[in-house]
Amino acid sequence: MIPLNPLGRFLRPGLLFALSVFLTGCNSAILNPKGQIGHDEKTLLITATVLMLLVVVPVIIMTLAFAWKYRATNTKARYEPKWSHSTAIEVVVWSIPCMIVLVLAVLTWRSSHALDPYRPLESDKKPVVIEAISLDWKWLFIYPEENIATVNEITFPVNTPLNFKITSDSVMNAFFIPHLGSMIYSMTGMETKLHLIANETGQFPGMSSHYSGAGFSKMHFTANSVTEAEYQAWLTKVRAQSTPMDKAAFATLVNDKNHDWHPVTYFGTTEGGLFDWVIAKHMGDNNHYGMDHKAMSHDGAAGESHEGHDMPANAHEGHDAAAPSGDAAAAPADAAAAEHAEHTADEHAAAGHAGHAGSGE
């Protein structure tokens, strides 16, 4: 049997070598950002980690030191079985963590506003607007100002703000370009926004970072950061395609529920308002997502009714025929009208707006 100490001395260099080999293959996009938002988030991540390590590292060191000093075989260690309190220790173990939490709170508050994905980026260049729609299982990108569309590829000029408008025609997904920064969800019947910028040229992988179905692992795309001249050449190449992106082409794309990676596809023209149409078609009647709520005009023809409150066409006629004339009849009629109006308001309020899909603003 090999003693533990010689075995440890033998395994330690091997474990360090294996760890070094594994780490050489790591290329974390989050820790290697290529855009301003990514750089700011990396700084925030490192700062928060260092602040927390100010507590974690001393605790680990003291745990090991105390375990060694007060081991059973150390007869020189002080034995104080009735010790229970130390004001100095209490001050240290409470004051330092409280200060760190305070610093983290201020840092989190400021960065939450500074890195808000809905906050437009300041730049002297005109932003590129890209409308992203997640499908099963691919990404459709519409450039409304350029009148083109692509599948599983976006191209944009370097050092230019990117204004993403994002929605889904299927289940919820998560739009993420790790090298550039923040992740945000795409949701059916809703519009979310994301503002990014690339500080360097290159090809950056994009993905749906949350599981969304059988073809989820193939739901990735390429984000190309290029020079202005290369961007204009790319626009010319896409516009040369004769295939338009309209409602018919969109339906064909939706029905192609690919389980393998969908190839990059270009559309030379786009139908105006397609992105808003995708959102609107999931919102239901009267803009209540998931509800079949018909609007009713109180000044409409006789016989119209609220859902669940059928009223015969001659209901009002019967009341009018039986009602006495004069001021005595006016009071009951006014009271009935007020009661009906109050009931209608309460019914509409109770219906709520659960599932209501706004613009995401």
Tens digits of residue pLDDT in 81-136? 888 889 998 998 899 889 999 999 999 999 999 999 999 999 999 999 999 999 99
> Cα separation of 246 and 142, whole Å?
11
For residue 154 the two structure tokens come to: 């976006």
Q: Which residue has the tokens 């790790």?
A: 178
Q: What pLDDT shows up at residue 231?
A: 97
Amino acid symbol at 66? F
* DSSP code of residue 77: S
Per residue in 133-159, pLDDT tens? 999 999 999 999 999 999 999 999 999
| 246-257 burial: b if 16+ Cβ within 10 Å, else e | eeebbeebbeee
Q: Is 275 exposed, middle or buried (0-12, 13-18, 19+ CB in 10 A)?
A: buried
Q: What pLDDT shows up at residue 61?
A: 95
Q: How many CB atoms lie within 10 A of CB 287?
A: 15
Q: How many CB atoms lie within 10 A of CB 18?
A: 10
Q: At what angle do helices 87-114 and 36-69 cross, to 10 degrees?
A: 170
For residue 222 the two structure tokens come to: 């390429």
Per residue in 226-281, pLDDT tens? 999 999 999 999 999 999 999 999 999 999 988 889 999 999 999 999 999 999 99
> Cα separation of 92 and 285, whole Å?
62
Per residue in 18-32, pLDDT tens? 655 555 545 678 888
For residue 52 the two structure tokens come to: 């927390």
Q: What pLDDT shows up at residue 353?
A: 43
Q: Give the mean model confidence (pLDDT) for residues 29-37.
A: 89
Angle at 305 between CA 302 and CA 310, to 5 degrees: 105
Look at residues 264, 246, 265, 275 and name the one whose alpha carbon lies nearest to residue 129. 275
In sequence order, which ranges of the chain are alpha helices (DSSP H)?
4-24, 36-69, 87-114, 228-239, 247-255, 274-280, 315-322, 327-351
Q: How many CB atoms lie within 10 A of CB 338?
A: 10
* DSSP code of residue 262: P
Looking at mean pLDDT, say which of 17-21, 178-182, 337-341 comes out highest: 178-182
> Cα separation of 38 and 124, whole Å?
20
Q: What pLDDT shows up at residue 17?
A: 63
Whether 330 shows a pLDDT value over 60: the answer reads no
Strands 138-143 and 173-176, bridge-based pairing: unpaired
Per residue in 192-237, pLDDT tens? 999 999 999 999 999 999 898 888 889 999 999 999 999 999 999 9
Q: Is 313 exposed, middle or buried (0-12, 13-18, 19+ CB in 10 A)?
A: exposed
